[in-house]
Amino acid sequence: MRGWIRIAVALASGLLVCAEAAAQAACPVKIGGVLPLTGSMAPITKKIAQAAELAIDHVNQGGGIKGCPVQFILRDDQGQPTVGVDAAKYLVEVERVPAFTGTISSGVTGPIISSVTAPSKVVQITCCSTASPFTLDGRSAGYFFRTIPTSKTQAYATASETTKRGLKKTAVIYVNTDFGTDMLRFYKAALTKLGGEIVIEVPYNDNQASYRAEVSKALAAKPESMLLIGFPKDAVTIVREWLSLGGPRTIALNNSMRTMDFVNGVGAKFVEDFFGMDNAQVAGPQVDAFNKAFEEKFKADSKGPGVHTQYDALMVMALAMNIAKDLTGPSIKDAVRLVHAPNGTPVGTGPGEFKKALELIKAGKPIKYFGATGPIEFDANGDVTGPALVWKVKDGQIVTDRTITIEEMQALFRRIEN
Amino acid sequence: MTGIFSYLVFFACVVLIFGVLALGLNLQWGFTGLFNAGIVGFYAIGAYTHAILTAAPQPQYLGNLGLPWIVGILAAMAATALAAWVIALLTIRLRGDYLAIATFGIAVSIQLVALNWEALTGGSQGLSRIPKPLSGVFDTPLAFNLWFLFLLAVIVGGIYVALERILRAPWGRVLRAIREDETAAVALGKSARRFRLEAFVLGSMLMGLAGALYVSFIGFVSPFDFLPIVTFQVWAMLIAGGSGNNRGALIGALVVWGIWSASGIAVTKVVPPSHAAQGAAVQVILIGLLLILVLLYRPRGLAGEAAVVSRHAAD
Amino acid sequence: MIGQALADGVLTGAIIALGAIGVSFTLQIMRFANFAHSELLTWGAYLALVFVGFAGPGTPTGPLSFGWQLIAAALFAAVLTGVVAWIVDSLVFRNLRRRGAHPLTMVFAAFGAALVMRNVVVLFWGHDSHFYTRELQIGVELLPGVRMLPDQIFILGLTLVVVVSLHLFLTYSRTGMAMRAMAENPQLAQVCGIEVDAVMRWTWILSGALAALAGVFAGLTPQLHPEIGFNLLLALFAAAILGGTGSLAGAVIGGLVVGLAENLSVLFISAGYKTAMPFLVLLAVLLVRPQGLFGEKQ
């Protein structure tokens, strides 16, 4: 046994030393990533990881960070907090990443913030973790940002759309995680203020073979519409069982369902009366450029939860790292908000725009980044607000029904919170 | 080199926390033959008790009393011991694999209570800003982690010594006698049931302690920390290290967590990010294969010495 | 409301029952908690998908969403999965058994095998969901307030046929009787000259075949993905144990109890606790009858 132990220790030391030695050199600049590549989130993470890869490609094609190429080191958190924390700690200490992106589940993001990001003062930008307390209660000491609005935006917008369409007696079926309960809480607050009515709230634990029990319970309250908060795979089961059991076809969905996986899973001809919300990817040349680049590289549709926000998270990180005077945590943290300076020259997505941004930065001029999700402007807490959009399915395609501009959103916020 | 050192200190802390779990399991399985598949449930009770008592007060939660660290630790152990006692009373009569499923189900139920009872446990959002002991004094990550490693080493060392003592003392000898030949032990007037109960409670208390240590190390707790995979990991650690053997429990914790961690690192070195998803699947397959290999070629575990108790006693 | 819950419970229970039969017999005959059994459901479902990939699910026959091709696919998958189950045993478990491995070692080997089997599916098909057929059926109202899909009624009927056939097999065929004998008392059965190896082989093949059917039924209602078996694993074990291992009636009743417990519980408590119900029922049963409902007292 002694022999095996010696070999194992030698191998492990070798791995670690190589990693750290490489980390000492100035180039390449490493960026870390922690995502649930395996586990229950895996189906949606695949495209998110692809978006990350695209961003790194564009950054490298556009000139890299401080003249160095960028190396992206992506680790799997397996959906388990301890594994995620270990991965983040490794990236920060051994690979010495100046910044990293991650992760999705707040059960994993939370411990990473409290045991790695805040103590080690390293910038973390997440594409997808929406639990509101992370930015609001000061635990991250300002080092945590997200390119996705918290559930508040989506929930308020959904409530507004629900009342606008005159939907009554809504049954809410929601995934029993921080994401689901967060959304539900904001939705309920908003809907009550706006005059709607929730007849029943039914949580569901994910990864079950059947949701007939939950669906039957919701149907027993005789609803006229349904709000489904969750993720595509289980949502397909729930919606199919709902429709089969005779549930009303007016179904509101959250942003994760805005993907062809969901539409095809349920069947395009059955979803005509559904509508969904999303944080608006403001239509525009930057968004189109991103969609096109994604589709070209991966031969797949760019729609899906987290795809655009992940791209933006990494682009913002790369821009901030170029603006920052050095690659230490505090400098990068301060530079993040300069990515969208009020008087800056607009720069968009793609390698060409990134190159343009680098030239402006070199000349000391401010930039204003418009990404795959529109203008990325972080508030004092590290959150973004944004416009919202209402989507639906027409002739088998996901189309935007209408957009809710930032001004309308802000008016809505004021109305609900006062 | 400070980077690697800093990471290793952190890694060692996690290993020691797992080590406490494995030592608790060893007492239940290695020395008493109780197939506890609900480890993560006791881990959760300890963790949440500590969190609820020590976290800073917030209006929407029932608990969050802001009490000192040591109170949280002791309360965690007490709460877990109490829960274990009740659970043992209900399940101790069950034969091996039935006990496993029963304890598994109890752990699942505990996790669901943590998930659903928002007012007490924070629900799916979890509880945050759990104070780390003496974090005011040791204010850099490396300093704090070193101090915590020292604390853990003292605690684990203490537990190890205490366990070795107890197991060589009369109580431990009766336990082994019951394992080796229950009929004879009972004939001599020893209540097998009582000893099993005590071993179960004591082992679970250690698991609760591990939970409290974990949350005071990380500073955050949520129901997602207590999924069945943790139970599986601790079992793997005990089996790989050698059950019936306290040193084996600790070695197993190091080896299994080391494999888990290193396989993740290795995947990033070998597989480009574009294939990260397949790489991750391969990592999981590797972990599975490694476990099978250890079982096939070193069935008594890596610590390799003669188990203190005969293996046949479990059937 | 109760009517619907009962109907849903029976349907879920039927699928769990088919999967639990294999678990029950391996637990009893081989004293082995095979945690890789759920992957046999997954493999069965995906093997049927391969067949459907070639032959198509068939045009919807009558009120069903599929044609005879899906049935053929299910049978094809059942046979193949039975063989797969036997192969996995030969490669992994039999070696360990021969060496007198500890039951716990076997459990771990099963976990390892399950991880491998599941991720092989992921490697080939990825994490995305697949479907046998794209039809979406609307439930028929059998009784006021009770709806079921024609597909589900068919599944129930087929399950009944399978269970009855299995019962006849176990009661009247030589191999079946040998299996029951081994389940009741392995040592005595050996002394009576029963070929242990043959019985074990049949146990694996039957377990695999039944699991495959359960997998196909689960995949039909309504989608397939690599975790489809794994998500049912604990329900399968809970059902097998509460029914009493080694008993066909036990596994079937156990499955139904688990299905009903889940579906009826949401009428009274939050659906957030639904996944704990199989265990709570199991605990209650074991408290009163530690050997399970139909199990043999040790």
pLDDT, tens digit (0-9, with 9 covering 90-100), for C216-242? 999 987 889 898 998 899 899 999 999
Q: Do A43 and C225 touch (CB under 8 A)?
A: yes
Q: Which residue of C has its CA nearest to B293?
A: C109
Q: Do C272 and A176 touch (CB under 8 A)?
A: yes
Whether residue B18 has pLDDT greater than 80: yes
Least Cα separation, residue A175 to chain C (angstroms):
9
Mutating which of C123, C234, C270, C286 best tests the B interface, going by the most B Cβ atoms within 10 A?
C286
What is the C-alpha to C-alpha distance for residues C274 and C270, in angstroms, rounded to an integer? Answer: 7
Q: Is B262 within the bounds of a domain?
A: no
Strand order in the sheet with A367-371: A345-347, A367-371, A374-375
Q: Do A45 and B277 touch (CB under 8 A)?
A: yes
Lowest mean pLDDT among A96-100, B132-136, B225-229, C164-168: B132-136
- At residue C294 the predicted structure's pLDDT band, cuts being 50, 70 and 90, is confident
Least Cα separation, residue B152 to chain A (angstroms):
17
Least Cα separation, residue C1 to chain B (angstroms):
24
Cα Dmax for chain C:
59
- Enumerate residue ranges in chain A where pLDDT < 70: 1-5, 18-25, 280-283
Tally of domains within chain B:
1
Q: Do A37 and B276 touch (CB under 8 A)?
A: yes
Counting Cβ atoms within 10 Å, is residue B160 exposed (0-12), middle (13-18) or buried (19+)? middle
Q: Is B241 within the bounds of a domain?
A: no
Question: What residues of chain C, 111 to 150, have a C-beta less than 8 Å from chain A?
Answer: 126-129, 131, 134-139, 141, 147, 149
Of C8, C136, C218, the CB nearest to A267: C136
- Inter-chain CB pairs, B–C, below 8 Å: 114
Residues B259-273 pLDDT 10s: 899 888 888 888 887
Q: What are phi and psi of A175, to 5 degrees?
A: -75, 135
Residues B241/B253, Cβ–Cβ less than 8 Å: yes
Q: Do A76 and B223 touch (CB under 8 A)?
A: no
Q: Is B21 within the bounds of a domain?
A: yes
Q: Which residue of A has its CA nearest to B219?
A: A114
- At residue B85 the predicted structure's pLDDT band, cuts being 50, 70 and 90, is very high
Give all domains of chain A, ordered by start, each with its CATH number: 25-148+279-386 (3.40.50.2300), 151-273+387-417 (3.40.50.2300)
Q: Do A50 and B1 touch (CB under 8 A)?
A: no
Q: Is B98 within the bounds of a domain?
A: yes
Mutating which of C105, C118, C234 best tests the B interface, going by the most B Cβ atoms within 10 A?
C105
pLDDT at residue number B315: 47
Lowest mean pLDDT among A98-107, B254-263, C119-128: C119-128
- At residue B313 the predicted structure's pLDDT band, cuts being 50, 70 and 90, is very low
Beta strands A397-404 and C140-143, pairing class:
unpaired
What is the C-alpha to C-alpha distance for residues B188 and B177, in angstroms, rounded to an integer? Answer: 10
Q: Which chain A residues are within 8 Å of C217, Cβ to Cβ?
A: none
3-state secondary structure of C269: coil
Tokens of A356: 């343009």
Q: Which chain A residues are within 8 Å of C15, Cβ to Cβ?
A: 209
Q: Do B276 and A15 touch (CB under 8 A)?
A: no
Q: Which residue of C has its CA nearest to B235?
A: C108
Tokens of A66: 């401080």
Q: Do C137 and A261 touch (CB under 8 A)?
A: no
Residues C35-89 pLDDT 10s: 899 999 999 999 999 998 887 777 777 778 788 888 889 999 999 999 999 999 9
Q: Is B214 within the bounds of a domain?
A: yes
Sorted by sequence, the CB contacts under 8 Å of residue A323 that are 6+ apart come out as: A335, A338, A339, A361, A367
Of A1, A86, A116, the CB nearest to B302: A1
Of B106, B285, B296, the CB nearest to C115: B285
Q: Could you give the ipTM of this predicted complex?
A: 0.89
Q: Do C103 and B314 touch (CB under 8 A)?
A: yes
Of the candidates B39, B65, B32, B37, the one whose C-alpha atom is nearest the C-alpha of residue B51 is: B65
Residues A318/A66, Cβ–Cβ less than 8 Å: no
Sorted by sequence, the CB contacts under 8 Å of residue B255 that are 6+ apart come out as: A8, B237, B240, B241, B302
Tokens of A312: 């933006």
What range does the domain containing B152 cover? 11-225
pLDDT at residue number B308: 45
Average pLDDT, chain B: 86
Tokens of A167: 């939907």
Query: How many CB atoms sit inside 10 A of residue A285's CB?
Result: 12
Lowest mean pLDDT among A104-118, A332-346, B282-296, C5-19: B282-296
Mutating which of C274, C275, C277, C279 best tests the A interface, going by the most A Cβ atoms within 10 A?
C274
Query: What's the pTM value of the predicted model, to 2 decimals?
Result: 0.87
Of the candidates B225, B170, B173, the one whose C-alpha atom is nearest the C-alpha of residue B47 is: B225
Query: How many CB atoms sit inside 10 A of residue B188's CB?
Result: 9
Q: Which chain B residues are within 8 Å of A11, Cβ to Cβ?
A: 262
Q: Which residue of B has its CA nearest to C114?
A: B288
Residues B61/B225, Cβ–Cβ less than 8 Å: no
Whether residue C147 has pLDDT greater than 60: yes
Of B108, B281, B311, the CB nearest to C279: B108
pLDDT at residue number A233: 87
Q: Is B144 within the bounds of a domain?
A: yes
Q: Do B102 and C105 touch (CB under 8 A)?
A: no
Q: Do B10 and A33 touch (CB under 8 A)?
A: no
pLDDT at residue number C297: 67
Lowest mean pLDDT among A188-202, B51-65, B75-89, B145-159: B51-65
